[in-house]
Structure formats: C-alpha cells, structure tokens
Structure 1
C-alpha cells in the first residue's frame, strides 16, 4: 500500500481518529495506526525500535482541514 493511500485514509477517517488520538502523533502503515506518542521525537524513537521501512507520521487534532470548510 502506498503512503498516498494512507494519507487519504487519515483524511477520510479524521473524525474517528480525533476521538481516539486527539493531540497525539501517530505512525500509520497500510491504513493502520502502528504506534502512538505525545511528541514527534518520542514517535521517531519508537519507530526506530520497530525498524519499519514504509509508514507515515501524522499529528491528529480536532482542527478541520481548510478544504473541508468550503463544502
């Protein structure tokens, strides 16, 4: 699965992700949250230990994406 598909998944599932991970950094691979942390540095350290090769980092928060406001 591509990271582009993971980014799309985050956008499509933002409301549910905010409910569970608001104000947290997450690592995502194949449309799954594989790690969670309070800071980006903490998440990077966790991911070094996992030795994953392809994933994305995303900060989850309740702020809507600007494009969502335009209807």
Structure 2
C-alpha cells in the first residue's frame, strides 16, 4: 500500500458519502488538480474558504477498528 492509494481511497470515500461537498473542495484538500474545469471554475474561482475545506475534513469518518492509536 502506498500513500497514493490512500489518497484515492479518501477521495472515493468522500465523493460517495456527502452530497453537499463539492468535488473542487475534495480535490483541493487532496492536492489533486480539479477533475472538472468549467469556464466558471477556471475564470472566476480565486480561492476556497477554509470553512469549506474544513467540511471536507470533518466529513471523513472511519470505523473505530480502522483507527491506529498513537
């Protein structure tokens, strides 16, 4: 398992679990280039608010047995 596969797993999980989270926000959190580049996105999006990125992070949930204690 590599870090890259972890990113894809997180991406898939987020895209399937929360309908109100925009793909652009998910791509930004994961460091991916936007998967859709509409004219509006390319020309008029100058930044995504931190509150929107926080929604992406908080939407990610894993079962207790998957959490590794530190």
TM-score above 0.5: no
Q: Which structure has the larger Rg?
A: 2
Greater fraction of residues in helix: 2
Richer in strand (by share): 1
After TM superposition, the score normalised by the length of structure 1 is 0.29
